[in-house]
Amino acid sequence: MTTTKLNYYLTSKNSNDRLTFKGSLDNKHTKNSNSTKIIVDTNKRYQEIIGFGGALTEAACYNISLLPEEKQDEIFKKYFDREHGIGYNLTRIHINSCDFSVSSYSCDDVEGDVELKHFNIDRDIKNIIPYVKKALSYNNKLHILASPWSPPAWMKTNGEMAHGGKLKEEYQKTWAEFICKFIKAYKEQGIDVWAVTVQNEPMAVQVWESCIYTAEEERDFVKNYLGPTLHENGLGDIKIYVWDHNRDLVYERAKTILSDKEAAKYVEGVAFHWYGGDHFEDLTRIKEEFPNVNLLFTEGCQEGGAKPGSWALGERYAHDIIGDLNNYTIGFIDWNIVLDMQGGPNHVGNFCDAPILVDTEAKDLFYQNAYYYLGHFSKFIEPGSVRVASNCNDDRLEIFACERNDGKRVIVILNRTEQDIDFELELDNNLFESKIPSHSIMTLISD
């Protein structure tokens, strides 16, 4: 295909450009031997991308609730509307509380309620569901992932939702039924859950809600309880993602679970977080060994509280997204879509950063560069886009390329260095040249 023009958008530290349309690059005919070379080959195709998004935790929803209605609408339009925002189509919610809840709770705190007669999502109906519905009003094709941080305290070996502990053996079936009840309860509220993870961070004993599974325990819970119970409840279409923890151990976990055919038949994919470092190559190892499995990024944030104005925040997101997508990841879900200026609320003080911060006193929003960096992917890489081959002869630049369903090609270029870098882009034998400023991200789209 002949590409005569590339439109491009820029976000740059040393300018006012924030997802700013900068014009077009025209096809050129003479190669420049001195430029950095980027080559995109759309004949080499890889995984399909399902989308991008962020989590609607109780903390995020609480912050939104403190704002006037027009500011609330602004958040959802800026995140979930593709034309006026950055086109999120994925979100993550928690089953029972997580650290980014206002306080700890479960949907059934009645000791020994094996039949779950007291199960209810009343707190979600009040604090979370109205905002999930608002997101759906801007994107009715929203994919909703539900993740548990802990079963109720009475189901656990340590008798509390926090500090790790394990699911008691006698409650494995009850816990699987609990997850089914949660999905059905949301359905009754007009909200379809798309997928679940088995357990958030199953190897982390935290001072907040946590529950420990070895790889073998998670495998057996999926094989003997969660998978069959979903099917018994008419929920066989709900996707199951395993692990939901850091990339540093993702391959070993995936291998243990997916090598068991009876467990693997229930598993849609492997979910992971970024807190253990890059380890991108381990994602490709999983895909090469288990080609039918999907890889999904389900959580990442900058720890240590909000740092308004930090340019490194957006660069961390873009580096991670490019590394994940270039290693077979199909989607990327950020952590809290908003937090307050401290990085909360968080009921154990585990404050973090977010792309948009809510100034609860001024009733206003503070947009971090991370919002724009995320938008360089989510706004232009539509669901159904397919990754294509790309490479660069200069490791100062990080590149991702894909082809959308409408045939348009999207190339994202990240420059985290202190130097402006001239580059020449070869796209299916068409040549373009430009410069990307220091500490910038650029998205190019074919006409």
Q: How confident is the model at residue 127 (pLDDT cuts 50, 70, 90)?
A: very high
φ, ψ of residue 120 in degrees (nearest 5): -160, 155
Residue 263 has what pLDDT?
98
Sign of the torsion formed by the C-alpha atoms of 61, 62, 64 and 68:
positive
The rounded distance, in Å, linking the Cα atoms of 435 and 397 is 11
Alpha-helix residue ranges (DSSP H) falling in 248-344: 250-258, 261-264, 280-289, 311-325
pLDDT above 70 as % of the chain: 99
Residues 96, 150: Cα–Cα separation, whole Å: 7
Rounded CA gap, 182 and 193, in Å? 9
Q: Does residue 126 surpass a pLDDT of 80?
A: yes
Q: Give ∠ CA 108-109-112 in degrees, rounded to 5.
A: 90
Q: Which residues are catalytic?
A: 201, 299
As a whole number, mean pLDDT of residues 315-336 equals: 98
The span from the CA of 57 to the CA of 336, in Å, is 6
ω before 151 within 30° of 0 (cis)? Answer: no
pLDDT > 90? residue 96: yes
Helix (H/G/I), strand (E/B), else coil: 177: helix
State residue 2's pLDDT score.
63
How far is it, in rounded angstroms, from Cα 265 to Cα 18?
44
- In whole angstroms, give the CA distance from residue 300 to residue 296: 12
Interstrand relation of 356-359 and 364-367 (parallel, antiparallel or unpaired): antiparallel
CB 49 within 8 A of CB 402: yes
Q: Which pLDDT value is given to residue 31?
A: 74
The whole-model pTM stands at 0.97
Tell me whether strands 421-427 and 269-273 are parallel, antiparallel or unpaired: unpaired
Strand partners, 386: 48, 403
Q: Mean pLDDT across the stretch 39-45?
A: 97
Distance CA 12, CA 187 (A): 43
Q: What is the pLDDT of residue 34?
A: 78
pLDDT digits (tens, 9 = 90+) for 345-402: 999 999 999 999 999 999 999 999 999 999 999 999 999 999 999 999 999 999 999 9
Which residue bears the tokens 């200069």?
A: 394
pLDDT band at 36 (very low <50, low <70, confident <90, very high): very high
Distance from C-alpha of 354 to C-alpha of 54, rounded to nearest angstrom: 10
C-alpha angle 320-97-317 in degrees, rounded to nearest 5: 10
> Which of 206, 179, 210, 207 shows the shortest CA–CA distance to 195?
179
Residue 216 structure tokens: 């073998």
Q: Which two tokens stand for residue 96?
A: 């029972």
pLDDT of residue 255: 98
| 3 confidence band (pLDDT: 50, 70, 90) | low
In angstroms, the first-to-last Cα distance of the chain is: 11
pLDDT for the residue numbered 35: 84
Nearest partner of 136 among 66, 79, 59, 71, judged by Cα:
79
Averaged pLDDT score across all residues of the chain:
97
Give the three-state DSSP class for 78. helix
pLDDT > 70? residue 1: no
400-426 as b/e, with b when 16 or more CB fall inside 10 Å? bbbbbeeebbbbbbbbbeeeebebbbe
Residue 27: what pLDDT?
Answer: 86
Over the stretch 235-275, which tens digit does the pLDDT of each residue have? Answer: 999 999 999 999 999 999 999 999 999 999 999 999 999 99
Q: Mean pLDDT across the stretch 95-111? A: 98
- pLDDT per residue as tens digits for the range 19-28: 999 999 988 8
pLDDT at 4: 75
> Where do we find the tokens 């300018």?
15
Q: What is the pLDDT of residues 419-430, one digit of tens each?
A: 999 999 999 889
For range 294-305, the mean pLDDT: 98
pLDDT above 70 for 74: yes
User: What is the rounded distance in angstroms from the CA atom of residue 404 to the CA atom of residue 255?
Assistant: 32
Q: Is 80 exceeded by the pLDDT of residue 179?
A: yes
Is the pLDDT confidence value at 311 over 90?
yes
- How much is the average pLDDT of 133-161? 98
Read off the pLDDT band of 447 (50, 70, 90).
confident
